[in-house]
Structure 1
Amino acid sequence: MKRALWLPLFDCLADPPAVARLAADAEEAGWDGLFVWDHVRWREPVTHVADPWITLAAVATATERLRFGPMVSALTRRRPAKLARETASLDLLGGGRLVLGVGLGSDRFAGEFSRFGEECDDRVRGRMLDESLEVLRAAWSGEEVRFRGEHYTVDGVTFLPRPVQRPGVPVWAAGFPGNVRPMRRAARLDGFFPVNLSSAEEFADAVGQVEALRSDDGPFDYVCEVEPGADVAPYAAAGATWCLTAFEPASLSMDHVRGVLSDGPAVR
């Protein structure tokens, strides 16, 4: 099982050069990945928020081995054609190390949809997300893209250069276990990140549900989330291929992040 830091880009971490330095130190300490939250605002008392894509570009140039990516990005807030260019460029910049985490997002944390006039209906956003993923997959192929959906259109455009990774950037889908739609979506992609779980037993159940929905036996990642210092061995036994060490915004400090980073990713 691989280990990664999962950072909210708020307040003390709303500083791309500082996060890039953390990424370089994490690579030196033996961590396998560094993933970042993707938000345009957060609830009080958070006041400072960094852009994830600019921050990830800094991470890409500061590291050589570390996997990185947004975890997770609500694609309905982004135009798929622009995202296709951004993801290909970022994968090239990092030499093929980008992972794209995707999900519906939620308005309840900070009004990120309602305050900006974005779509708030989960069902509509689900259809938008699926269309975006179709466009991205087609764009990463390097072939001409012709797509006409309910929400997006691409009329005969070729997206070059392609990402380093083939057939494209790995995509992990987040979702609530028990909700079959995100699990079906994840089963068609490259990984599943079940959120809001309270135990390794619940994680194992989510793994089993998605495995039952998958139609091939190719590489697939199951991603779990733990608090700093938690015992991750039960999650590894439950099928996790990646484990993200998470940090709460309310107690976020640079000293705390550096302390966890320095402890290293060894399974306890």
Structure 2
Amino acid sequence: MTPQHALWLPLFDDLADPALVARLAAEAEEAGWDGFFVWDHLRWRAPVAAVGDPWITLAAVACATSRLRFGPMVSALSRRRPVKLARETASLDRLGGGRLTLGVGLGSDRFGEEFSRTGEECDDRVRARMLDEALEVLAAAWSGEVVHHRGEHYTVDGVRFLPTPVGRIPVWAAGFPGKLRPMRRAARLDGYFPVNLDSAGRFAEAVGQVEALRTGGGPFDYVAEIQPGEDSAPYARAGATWLLTGFAPESLSVDHIRGVLRDGPR
């Protein structure tokens, strides 16, 4: 299978402007890219100063494009109320005509202290339980049926969430390769994004590990990050179905992004 290609942008500094990002998305669609994904953060370490909101930005992207698949990559669900996220994701998917993909993960406090500085949960094990429970609430809400949920962290007492998404919103789970719990989580969902990989060989190992955990036979995505200009063929051979061209947040340049964008996917 030939992998699809997407841009993956941090919404920092100049890219904190949703109108600019929407224009970049429209240009990416015209240049032949298949997807357009954005980071989901509240703050980042210096020298980053400005940070954009992913959901408002993605709404602008949805309106500026007609074909690109888009989404947050990745959202730490422990700092988002799942009932509100159910409304936001359904509305955003409808706005884009069924093109939303939701990337989820634990998040980390080490890059921007965005959990500790805002009173959010900092224990990874607790955030993992919150993530899994939030995914249960989302799946129930997206079904359009009345939701009855009483869990460790969330309660939904007889609420029906309408309108529903256009179709099934794919959910990709991110995680560090070798960590079994994120792999098991991904195997139950629609895709796996092993983060901080340094080689296609390690990506192939991660693909093999998740394949061994999967029990369903439906569509499943394996997502790899590559650098601008990097040869993507080894990742394609390793099983990648999506290749995300990423950019370092400390050296973001709109001109550089536009140059990569206009060259088209490789």
- Fold equivalence (TM over 0.5): yes
Q: Which residue of 1 aligns with 2:182?
A: 182
2:88 is aligned with 1:93: no
TM superposition shift of 1:17: 0.4
- Structure 1: state its 5+ residue gaps: none
Please report the RMSD computed on the Cα atoms of aligned residues, expressed in angstroms: 0.4
The amino acid of 1:126's aligned partner reads: A
The amino acid of 2:108's aligned partner reads: S
TM superposition shift of 1:12: 1.0
Q: Which residue of 1 aligns with 2:231?
A: 231
Q: Which residue of 2 aligns with 1:25?
A: 27
Q: Which residue of 2 aligns with 1:208?
A: 208
2-side partners of 1:90 and 1:216: how far apart?
27
Q: 2:68 aligns with which of 50, 66, 69?
A: 66
Q: Which residue of 2 aligns with 1:16?
A: 18
Q: Which residue of 1 aligns with 2:143?
A: 141
Residue-by-residue CA offset, 1:132-188 (whole Å, 9 max, x unaligned): 0000000000000000100000000000000001xx311000001111000000000
TM superposition shift of 1:216: 1.1
The amino acid of 2:148's aligned partner reads: R
Q: Which residue of 2 aligns with 1:109?
A: 111
1-side partners of 2:9 and 2:190: how far apart?
22
- Structure 2: state its 5+ residue gaps: none
Q: What's the TM-score once normalised by structure 2's chain length?
A: 0.99
2:222 is aligned with 1:222: yes
Residue-by-residue CA offset, 1:30-80 (whole Å, 9 max, x unaligned): 000000000000000111000000000000000000000000000001000
TM superposition shift of 1:82: 0.1
Residue-by-residue CA offset, 1:215-242 (whole Å, 9 max, x unaligned): 0111000000010000000000000000
SS at match of 1:197: coil
2:153 is aligned with 1:151: yes
1-side partners of 2:148 and 2:220: how far apart?
28
Q: Which residue of 2 aligns with 1:41?
A: 43
Q: What's the TM-score once normalised by structure 1's chain length?
A: 0.98
TM superposition shift of 1:251: 1.1
SS at match of 2:40: coil
Residue-by-residue CA offset, 1:196-221 (whole Å, 9 max, x unaligned): 11000000000000000000111000
Kindly report structure 1 stretches of 4+ aligned residues shifted beyond 2 Å: none
2-side partners of 1:91 and 1:122: how far apart?
29
Identity of aligned residues (%): 78
2-side partners of 1:113 and 1:186: how far apart?
23
2-side partners of 1:179 and 1:202: how far apart?
13
Count matched residues.
264
Q: Which residue of 1 aligns with 2:255?
A: 255
